[in-house]
Structure 1
Amino acid sequence: MWRDLLPIGRDAATGGYRRSPFASAERECAAWFVEESTRRRLDIEFDGQGNAVAWWQPDKAHNSAVPATQPAPAAPNGILVGSHLDSVGNGGAYDGPLGVISSFAAIDRVRELGVVPTKPIGVALFVEEEGSRFGVACLGSRLATGRMDPSAAAQLRDGDGVFLGDALSDAGLEPDLGRSAMLDGVGSFVELHVEQGRDLVDRGRPIAVTSASWAHGRWLFDFEGEPNHAGATRMEDRHDPMLSYAMTALAADKQARLAGARATFGRVSVEPNA
């Protein structure tokens, strides 16, 4: 499975991955997900924002003929595993795909052992988890769980001005933003994720179970100033917004360190940038 995914969306110059949501590389990954689900004769279900769940129903033999699109389990006792396949710009190979591939591998192993589950098991594929295109992290899962207003999501645009609904349509999907019924039968969700810091290395541990997760927030700061001549304008006459930005970044860094928290300035756009 890794061999199939590794070349998709990889930047030859940097070795990183560019799998922007609903663009060609990410859609190729989504097609791979459907192919792997079909190969295992799982029941694939999609929602109106492009999320997918491939269900292994306990009352259905895994060697049945052709998978059918069936509703999720009615009772909230299903076990959901999986992750996402989109990436940030120049992202890593394991961020997201590890959770999806390991889920398929786990089902394969359980079947090899002859174990038949007593609860439905679903492999999830959530879209736009990184927030790299529309600026909202976990967008697909937020919409699917009803944690984001569909009308607000419909107004989201990417850097080129493309609305979310248009991006879905351009990718061959039928937009229907909002809470997803396919998650109604989920009782628990488990995601295997690559460790992206060095905590496990420092502890000398290969794996760990998280007890909490950092709250994820994004803010947009707009600093306004006045462009002027770099040589002729006296320092006391300048109104440079980059100084305000620099002081804000330093203050955020200081407060994060004092609180044992995190603070990152990930993107800066300067106009006129002359």
Structure 2
Amino acid sequence: MPDTATDLLAAIADVGADRRRGGFSRHGFDRAELELREWFAAEALSRDLAVRTDRNGNMWAWWGEPGPDAVVTGSHLDSVPGGGAFDGPLGVTAALAAVDALRAKGFRPVRPVAVVVFAEEEGGRFGVPCLGSRLLTGAIDPDAARRLTDPDGVTLAEAVSAAGLDPARLGRDDDALATVGRFVELHVEQGRGLVDLGAPVGVAGSILAHGRWRFTFTGEGNHAGATLLGDRRDPMLPASALVLAARRAASQVDGSRATVGRLVPNPGGTNVIASTVDVWLDARAADAAGTRAVVDEITAAARAAAAEEGCSVTVTEESYGDTVHFDAGLRDFTADALGGAPALPTGAGHDAGILAAHVPTAMLFVRNPTGVSHAPAEFAEAADCAAGVVALATVLERLAG
């Protein structure tokens, strides 16, 4: 009997388990993610799929000879720190299970089919989300990408070199991109839309405009006990003001979100006034104007708070993507193939959103009973995962047949 998506998820349930945070920490080209790459290659080869790794570290498993107008599906295997089991891996395991299901019924694709695993989708190690698909499509400058560093100071160039890739070859890959005729990504839903609609599977209509910004507050490091309050230039105060400003600013723009999920003081001692504090802001809204308005208000508040404390602040935009509207024809085709599956927007970014500017792209969502994602409680019922595999297999059959 072919493996189900749930079986395949169970096979990797110990890889990258995070004993401190809970959930999983699997980041681009780290030990856990490299182990998952080996697992994926073995699973693909056991299905007689030809495995290739492109110049940017994205893995492709081909059913049929690679060529133009291929039907491509897949997702990613990396996670956020302490992430759930489904975000990314469900799309990969469902793709393998869909290939099994199609073969079991005797289907032979007229167009080549590929299952792809994109590198560093979450940006959990190098800070830029969808890094593999951005490099593939030329959405990020390769020199800038090579200089990206992880929290330990390892550059992307060093990491890919250690993984056996040539960092000099990072960048837009027209040959790989030219093979993709259609891209369909299955993903666990990150929200409660399908729960409220009573549907196990839906299709994506759009992705909110979103980006990441790093605020670096600089003050004066000093002794926590020996320095009077009036003598301090403590960067933690304006950093804290930014966190509160993010909530205020987002509440004033309909449907927007602003989040501070990471704050790093330097040197980080309990009895030390920090010399610098880095704060990462994630901001999202329905369109570019709304996103920029939220970030501008937060930036103004951060600058005012820094000046009041005698500190300085620099702001760096680390990534940004405008609103994505998925290909209407492929979206409708997909929904119709599934008997009128509901379409809904998402606030989460995906590799499909990067590819959408270059090839017709669609997404399938599998119901998440709580809506929780990017956390250990992320979940999808086995029956809904199976429904997702059936839906993906149906779409692939119609596109590749």
TM-score, normalization: structure 2?
0.60
Structure 1 residue 231 displacement after superposition: 6.2
Q: Which residues in structure 2 correspond to 1:1-20 (within 5 Å)?
A: 1-12=8-19, 14-20=21-27
Instruction: Indicate if the aligned counterparts of 1:45 and 1:182 stay in contact, CA closer than 8 A.
Output: no
Distance 1:228 1:167, change over 3 A: closer
User: Which residue of 28, 34, 43 maps to 1:21?
Assistant: 28
Does 2:164 correspond to 1:172?
yes
- Is residue 214 from structure 1 mapped to residue 214 from structure 2 by the alignment? no
Partners of 2:24 and 2:79 within 8 A in 1: yes
Post-superposition shift, 1:248? 1.9
Q: Post-superposition shift, 1:174?
A: 3.5
- Secondary structure in 1 matching 2:103: helix
**Which deviates further from its counterpart, 45-54 or 92-101?**
45-54
Counterpart pick for 2:139 among 137, 144, 147? 147
CA shift for structure 1 position 201: 2.8
The 5 A counterparts of 1:128-207 are 128-175=120-167, 176-180=169-173, 181-207=175-201
For residue 124 of structure 1, report the CA deviation from its aligned partner: 0.4
Is the Cα–Cα contact under 8 Å of residues 252 and 263 in structure 1 kept in the other structure? yes
Shift of 1:56: 1.3
Relative to structure 1, the CA distance from residue 231 to residue 168 in structure 2 (aligned partners, 3 Å threshold; closer, same or farther) is closer
SS of 1:191 mapped into structure 2: strand
Structure 2 partner of 1:241: 235
**What 5-or-longer segments of structure 2 have no aligned partner?**
1-7, 273-401
- Matched-pair contact (CA < 8 Å) for 2:221–2:234: yes
What is the DSSP-based 3-state SS (H/G/I as helix, E as strand, rest coil) of the residue aligned with 2:217? coil
Bigger shift: 90-99 or 182-191?
A: 182-191
**What does residue 32 of structure 1 align with?**
39
Distance 1:258 1:199 in 2: 23
Alpha-carbon displacement from aligned partner over 1:130-163 (angstroms, at most 9, x marks no partner): 1111111111110011111111111112122212
Kindly provide the amino acid, as one letter, of the partner of residue 265 in structure 1: V
Helix, strand or coil for the counterpart of 2:92?
A: helix
- Matches of 2:267 and 2:13, distance apart in 1: 39
Q: Which one of 104, 113, 118 corresponds to residue 105 of structure 2? A: 113
- C-alpha distance in 2 between matches for 1:234 and 1:13: 36
Any conservation in 2 of the 1:79–1:120 contact (CA below 8 Å)? yes
Report which of the two has the higher share of strand: 2
Question: Shift of the alpha carbon at 1:113?
Answer: 1.4
Matched, 1:92 2:84: yes
Tell me the secondary structure at the aligned position of residue 19 of structure 1: coil
In structure 1, distance between residues paired with 2:50 and 2:185: 20
Aligned length: 259
Q: Secondary structure at 2:154's aligned position in 1?
A: coil
* Aligned-pair Cα RMSD in Å: 2.0
Task: Name the CA distance, whole Å, in 1 between partners of 2:109 and 2:257.
Answer: 40
**CA displacement 1:65-120 (0-9 Å, x = unmatched):** xxxxx6x31x3x21110001111211111111000000011111111111222221
Aligned equivalents of 2:227, 2:146: Cα separation in 1: 45
Deviation, 1:199, is 3.1
Q: TM-score, normalised by structure 1?
A: 0.87
Give the letter for the 1:27 counterpart: L
Q: CA deviation at 1:242?
A: 2.2
Identity value in percent: 51
Aligned 8 A contact 1:99 1:193 in 2:
yes
More helix as a share of residues: 2
Q: C-alpha distance in 2, partners of 1:204/1:192?
A: 18
Question: In the aligned structure 2, how far is the partner of 1:255 from the partner of 1:268?
Answer: 19
Q: Which has the higher contact order (CA 8 A, sep 6+)?
A: 2
**Structure 2 residue matching 1:192: 3-state secondary structure:** strand
- Give, as a single letter, the amino acid of the residue that structure 2 aligns with 1:42: L
The residue type equivalent to 1:200 in the other structure is: L
